[in-house]
């Protein structure tokens, strides 16, 4: 039986051309990009090619793109970099209750240093904009709001958050975790109004270990990684040239095919939701047809999600019970509970996430396996 991979929110299979690019960088263009000789210059050129590709995808200028090790580092750098550099403006951070741990834990660390944080609720995936308006004031230094929630695929109106910041005449910078939105939604830095945007390579068929941070020109930033001054002094350390070049190649391919691939994933999402409702009536759908095109989250009340994942794994069907980056460690309410789910629904929640590789036939096999599990457990 062929493998059915439906866990693309956790990571994606790299494009063949990405793998080829990485091998070439490791074996042929292996110079240190800071070196002045030919191999160094060739390596530096590949970095700048990738930077131009990523900048174009975000509607940004090349000098607004900084390379990091991934979405987590980009979020850390954005939040701490903005807050520490602009602390004279105030000591308040506003974020949402449903953010990724890369955001929530970074803010938690700043709270230990005396910063205040307000968490805006998002019941059933609807960000409370009235609550957001009340929270943002002239002492708010940063607002951090994700574009697509990694658990349910709900979309937050980040552009409206920017409107609130302007209306309140707040000095706050706006950071957006766009890791799950990048390559899945059509947006630019200008369209969402963000001053800082985090994205990651391995969510769009690129390599793990590469990401980037968009920093709007003129934004005052502080760096916690000191060294040789790479990335224009914001993020020191010898660049991971193979991963960066692979990232650029992944972005090039993804955005060349994004229109048809997004439509394909939307059709899979809708087909999957309809199939679950029809064949597993007791299931509770936690996503909707208006969310991100690649995510379906549903609960099977009375069943432990990890056992379902293990059952499917034995059939070579791979889905997720929670965000893979935090599935082994939990503290406080889960992201799903923060979005309004009961503890029972959260503990039985399953996430299916698509790429352009997936087919309706694979969804049929998933549903068939879930029905078999349901019958087996119910006796």
Per the prediction, the chain carries an average pLDDT of 94
Q: What angle do CA 148, 154, 156 make, to 5 degrees?
A: 60
For the chain, the distance separating the N- and C-terminal CA atoms, rounded to the nearest angstrom, is 26
The tokens 């263009």 sit on which residue? 29
Residues 108, 227, single domain; the answer is yes
Judged on CB neighbours under 10 Å (0-12, 13-18, 19+), 231 is: buried
Residues 147, 274, single domain; the answer is no
When comparing pLDDT for 208 and 379, which is higher?
208
Q: How confident is the model at residue 198 (pLDDT cuts 50, 70, 90)?
A: very high
Q: How confident is the model at residue 326 (pLDDT cuts 50, 70, 90)?
A: low
Whether residue 332 has pLDDT greater than 70: no
Whether residue 7 has pLDDT greater than 80: yes
Counting residues of the chain whose pLDDT is more than 70, the rounded percentage is 96
pLDDT tens-place string over residues 257-312: 999 999 999 999 999 999 999 999 999 999 988 999 999 999 999 999 999 999 99
Specify the length of the chain in residues: 379
> Of the candidates 233, 256, 279, which is a domain's last residue?
256
pLDDT tens-place string over residues 121-132: 999 899 999 999
Counting residues of the chain whose pLDDT is more than 90, the rounded percentage is 86
> 129: which 2 tokens?
């904009």
Catalytic residues: 325
Number of H helices, E strands in the chain: 13, 12
Whether residue 330 has pLDDT greater than 60: no
Residues 243, 296, single domain; the answer is no
Crossing angle of helices 258-279 and 360-378, rounded to 10°: 30
Q: How confident is the model at residue 209 (pLDDT cuts 50, 70, 90)?
A: very high
> Of the candidates 226, 256, 286, which is a domain's last residue?
256
> Of the candidates 200, 231, 256, which is a domain's last residue?
256
Residues 140, 233, single domain; the answer is yes
- Of the listed ranges 102-111, 321-330, 364-373, the one predicted with least confidence: 321-330
Residues 293, 184, single domain; the answer is no
State the Cα–Cα distance between residues 358 and 349, nearest whole angstrom: 21
Q: What angle do CA 255, 256, 260 make, to 5 degrees?
A: 90
Residues 246, 263, single domain; the answer is no
Q: Which of 1, 6, 4 is nearest to 355 (CA)?
A: 6
Residue 141: CATH number of its domain: 3.40.640.10
* Domain membership of residue 53 as a residue range: 16-256
Q: How confident is the model at residue 99 (pLDDT cuts 50, 70, 90)?
A: very high
**Cβ neighbours of residue 376 under 8 Å, at least 6 residues apart?**
none
Residues 195, 341, single domain; the answer is no
Q: What is the mean pLDDT of residues 211-219?
A: 98
Measured CA to CA in angstroms, residue 139 lies from 118, 172, 265 at distances of: 12, 8, 42
- Of the listed ranges 89-103, 133-147, 338-352, the one predicted with least confidence: 338-352
State the Cα–Cα distance between residues 101 and 72, nearest whole angstrom: 8
Provide the pLDDT for residue 325.
53
Q: Residue 199: beta bridge partners?
A: 212
Per the CB < 8 A criterion, the answer to whether 210 and 69 are in contact is: yes
- Any idea what DSSP says for residue 339? T
Helix (H, G, I), strand (E, B) or coil at 279: helix
Provide the pLDDT for residue 335.
77
Provide the pLDDT for residue 333.
64
Residues 221, 82, single domain; the answer is yes
**Cβ neighbours of residue 197 under 8 Å, at least 6 residues apart?**
58, 175, 176, 178, 189, 213, 214
Q: What angle do CA 309, 11, 341 make, to 5 degrees?
A: 55
Residues 205, 272, single domain; the answer is no
Provide the pLDDT for residue 328.
39
Q: How confident is the model at residue 329 (pLDDT cuts 50, 70, 90)?
A: very low
Residues 77, 185, single domain; the answer is yes
Provide the pLDDT for residue 322.
67
State the Cα–Cα distance between residues 76 and 279, nearest whole angstrom: 43
Q: How confident is the model at residue 327 (pLDDT cuts 50, 70, 90)?
A: very low
pLDDT tens-place string over residues 9-61: 999 999 999 999 999 999 999 999 999 999 999 999 999 999 999 999 999 99
Helix (H, G, I), strand (E, B) or coil at 49: helix
Residues 108, 124, single domain; the answer is yes
Measured CA to CA in angstroms, residue 141 lies from 169, 179, 345 at distances of: 12, 22, 36
Per the CB < 8 A criterion, the answer to whether 156 and 137 are in contact is: no
Split into its structural domains, the chain has a count of 2
Residues 8, 20, single domain; the answer is no
pLDDT tens-place string over residues 353-375: 999 999 999 999 999 999 999 88
Measured CA to CA in angstroms, residue 319 lies from 29, 88, 229, 308, 354 at distances of: 37, 46, 41, 9, 10
Provide the pLDDT for residue 142.
98
Residue 339: CATH number of its domain: 3.90.1150.10
Q: How confident is the model at residue 82 (pLDDT cuts 50, 70, 90)?
A: very high
Per the CB < 8 A criterion, the answer to whether 177 and 146 are in contact is: yes
> 56: which 2 tokens?
């174009």
**Cβ neighbours of residue 154 under 8 Å, at least 6 residues apart?**
98, 122, 125, 126, 148, 287, 288, 291, 292, 339
State the Cα–Cα distance between residues 227 and 330, nearest whole angstrom: 34
- Backbone torsions φ then ψ of 142, nearest 5 degrees: -145, 140
């Amino acid at each position: 039986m062929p493998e059915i991979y439906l866990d693309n929110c956790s990571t994606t299979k790299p494009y063949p051309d990405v793998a080829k690019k990485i091998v070439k960088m490791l074996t042929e263009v292996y110079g240190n990009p800071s070196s002045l000789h030919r191999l160094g210059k060739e390596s530096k050129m590949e970095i700048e090619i990738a930077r131009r590709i990523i900048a174009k995808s975000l509607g940004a200028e090349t000098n607004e793109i900084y390379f990091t090790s991934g979405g987590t580092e980009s979020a850390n750098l954005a939040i701490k970099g903005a807050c520490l550099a602009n602390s004279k403006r105030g000591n308040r951070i506003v974020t949402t209750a449903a953010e990724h741990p890369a955001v929530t834990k970074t803010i938690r660390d700043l709270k230990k240093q005396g910063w205040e944080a307000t968490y805006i609720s998002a019941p059933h995936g609807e960000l409370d904009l009235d609550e957001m308006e009340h929270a943002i004031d002239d002492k708010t230094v940063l607002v951090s709001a994700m574009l697509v929630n990694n658990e349910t695929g709900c979309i937050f109106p980040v552009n409206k958050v920017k409107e609130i910041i302007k209306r309140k005449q707040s000095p706050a910078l706006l950071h957006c975790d766009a890791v799950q939105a990048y390559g899945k939604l059509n947006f630019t830095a200008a369209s969402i109004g963000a001053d800082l945007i985090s994205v990651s390579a391995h969510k769009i068929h690129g390599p793990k270990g590469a990401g980037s941070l968009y920093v709007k020109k003129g934004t005052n930033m502080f760096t916690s990684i000191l060294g040789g001054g790479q990335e224009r002094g914001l993020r020191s350390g010898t660049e991971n040239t193979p991963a960066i070049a692979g990232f650029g190649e992944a972005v090039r391919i993804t955005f060349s095919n994004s229109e048809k691939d997004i439509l394909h994933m939307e059709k899979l999402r809708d087909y999957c939701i309809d199939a679950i409702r029809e064949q597993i009536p007791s299931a509770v759908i936690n996503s909707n047809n208006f969310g991100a095109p690649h995510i379906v989250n549903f609960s099977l009340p009375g069943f432990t999600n990890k056992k379902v994942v293990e059952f499917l794994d034995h059939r070579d069907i791979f889905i997720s019970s929670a965000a893979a980056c935090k599935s082994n460690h939990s503290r406080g309410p889960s992201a799903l509970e923060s979005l309004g789910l009961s503890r029972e629904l959260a503990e039985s929640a399953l996430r299916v996430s698509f790429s352009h590789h997936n087919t309706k036939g694979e969804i049929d096999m998933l549903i068939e396996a879930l029905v078999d599990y349901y019958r087996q457990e119910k006796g």
